[in-house]
Amino acid sequence: MGTVVERELELRLVLSPGRSVAVPARLGYRTDDPYAVHLAFHVDSESPVHWTFARELLVEGVFRPCGQGDVRVWPSRSRGRGVVLLGLSSPDGDALLEAPAAQVSAWLERTLRVVPPGTEGGQPGLDDALARLLAR
C-alpha cells in the first residue's frame, strides 16, 4: 500500500442557477494508483458515490476547461471566489459540482509533491501545470 493523500471538503451540488446544496466530499490520491484521483461524495450516507478520473484532468481543469464525456472540469467564480466546476455524467444522471479552487489546488499540490509530474509513468504536460500551481 502506498501513500494516501486525502482531503475532506464541502462541495456544492448545483441544482439550478443560483440554487445549490452542500455535499460533504473526500478527495483521495494513492501513490499505488498514480494517474488517478478519487472523489467520494455523500460520504456520510449509507451509499457514498465514488468517481475516479485522471489527476491530470483535475490539474488542468483548475486553469482551463478540459475533459469530455463523463467528466468535465473548468474554473469559474461563484459568490466572489474561485471555484472548480465538475460536470459528471453517468447512466444514472448528470451532476454539476462546485469545489473551492483554493482547497482543490492545495490538495493537488500535495499529490504532486508525493508523486512529481512525469514520475508516474512519463505523462507530459504536468510539469507546466505544477509550475503554475506552485507559482500562485
Q: In this predicted model, what pLDDT tens digit does every residue of 111-130 receive, in sequence order?
A: 999 998 778 864 445 566 66
Hunting for cell 460533504 — which residue is that? 24
Write b or e for each residue in 10-19: b if 16 or more Cβ atoms lie within 10 A of its Cβ, otherwise e: ebbbbeeeee
Contact, 10 vs 24, CB < 8 A?
Answer: yes
Q: Which residue has the higher pLDDT, 15 or 133?
A: 15
- Lowest-confidence pick of 48-57, 96-105, 127-136: 127-136
pTM recorded for the entire structure: 0.82
Identify the pLDDT of residue 124: 47
